[in-house]
Amino acid sequence: MTAYEQAKKMYESIGVDTELAIEKLSKIKLSIQCWQGDDVKGFLFQNELTGGIQVTGSYPNRARNVLELRSDLEFALSLIPGSHKVNLHAIYADTKEKVDLTQLEPKHFESWVKWAKTNGLGLDFNPTCFAHPKSTSGFTLSSNQKDIQDFWIDHVKHSRKIGAYFSEALNQKAVVNLWIPDGFKDNPYDRVTPRLRLKQALDEIYQEKHDVVDTLESKLFGIGTEAYTVGSHEFYLTYAAQNKLGFCLDSGHFHPTEYVADKIASMASYDLPVLLHVSRPMRWDSDHVVIMDDEVERIAQVIIRSHLEEKIHIGFDYFDASISRVAAWVIGARSFQAALLKALLEPTKNLQTIENEGHFTERLYAQEMLKTMPFGLVYDEFLRRHHKPSQHEWFKLLKAYEKKLER
């Protein structure tokens, strides 16, 4: 009897079908963030990062151009089971033209669509509202300078058209997520007016309908906006609800004592599209590589227990230049997949019945018992069926890949 067959029998004894869990996990798409591969530099400008974004570390082999980035993504995806998407920022346009953000069109991303088709991938998109001369004041869509505000409104409008192009060309709806860095380092005198300007800008941006999933991404604070963030959680959630837009929850964008899993559970009560950016904060929104920690397990549990896997768009938003950038993609994706599988291997109906009948001692016993069940053996079987190297083998392949690089 193989190790998987033994694990299968153990799960059968508590009423769990491991075959069904593997089948369900195979259908869950992840959106892999391209910017982990080149430290958020992109190909349009190579400007210094602004907006509170920092990438630290000096690990070699940073992707310097679109071909190197795609090569790294292809290798990482060859180690991640399933069919997924790649998430692009506007600054990753593949063009020899000298164009500004407001001049970007679908044609500047044609090679990305061709590449995605070849590799069986979907594409998501983000306007790049940072690292640009017109963002140096710290304000973009909420700027009190009309020419600055108009520039960023125009850029986001162009970005939504590019997202619609992805949706049509790849036959799977693109998520177009908006995040802006606007805010004050110290306490402002007026906390309302910048938000009224942002609301006016959003009204103009979303007036035209496109075949995309539009989402708004809030933040508690960032470097340079410690005192006040215009696009706060309350502001964007209210705007999204009133205007039937989607909402992005980034697991690094809240106070350390807040659980994003609980926010997902709250939003599941309403018919709002939800984008999840899985990240790992360490004392602040530091975008560490995702690992299978308590919060990631909680997030996976609320998605699976509430049957939200087809309703929530799952992506990643982290970047670390102190370790292998390619390994960061693989570790993050595999860790989240393992957390999802662990949640899929719960006797959900039985636990719901126990809770509904008020048997809380039995609930506690069952939840603790599940922690030592051999979900890792089931994940190994999941990898095998997708013809991916095991958890014990893939790192050797990574080292061989990086050894061949000449960067």
- Written as six digits, the tokens of 17 are 């079908």
Annotated catalytic, 285? Answer: yes
263 given a catalytic annotation: no
253 is catalytic: yes
Which residue type sits at 346?
A: E
Angle at the Cα of 265 from the Cα atoms of 263 and 269, rounded to 5 degrees: 110
Partners of 275 in the β-ladder: 248, 313
Tokens coding 120:
């069986």
219 catalytic? Reply is yes
Examine the residue annotation and report whether 329 is marked as an active-site residue of this protein: no
* Placement of tokens 């982290």 in the chain: 318
Candidates 38, 287, 297, 402; catalytic one: 287
H helix runs in 268-374, sequence order:
294-305, 325-344, 348-356, 360-370
Q: Do residues 37 and 326 touch, judged by C-beta distance below 8 A?
A: yes
The catalytic position among 217, 295, 320, 381 is: 217
Distance of CA 28 to the CA centre of its chain: 13
Instruction: For the chain, state the CA radius of gyration.
Output: 22
C-beta of residue 105 within 8 angstroms of C-beta of residue 160: no
Q: Is the sign of the CA dihedral 255, 260, 262, 267 positive or negative?
A: positive
Give the amino acid at 324.
S
Catalytic residue among 250, 320, 381, 402: 250
Name the E strands within 119-195.
Answer: 122-126, 174-178, 183-184
Q: 275 by DSSP, 3-state: which? A: strand
How many whole angstroms separate alpha carbon 163 and alpha carbon 387? Answer: 32
Element (H, E) at 74: helix 66-77
Instruction: Specify whether 158 is catalytic.
Output: no
Q: Active-site residue among 155, 277, 288, 388?
A: 277
> Residues in the chain, how many?
407
Neighbours of 146 (CB within 10 A): 9
Other C-beta atoms closer than 10 Å to the C-beta of 65 total: 11
Out of 94, 317, 346, 380, the active site residue is 317
Tokens of 63: 């992707």
Active-site residue, from 219, 263, 288, 313? 219
Residue carrying structure tokens 């790049």: 128
Catalytic, 293? Answer no
Q: Which of 38, 72, 182, 285 is catalytic?
A: 285
Geometric angle at alpha carbon 209, from 203 and 211, rounded to 5°: 135
Tell me how crowded residue 112 is: count the other CB atoms within 10 A of its CB: 24
Residues 35, 112, 152, 179: which is the catalytic one? 179
Catalytic positions are: 179, 217, 219, 250, 253, 277, 285, 287, 317
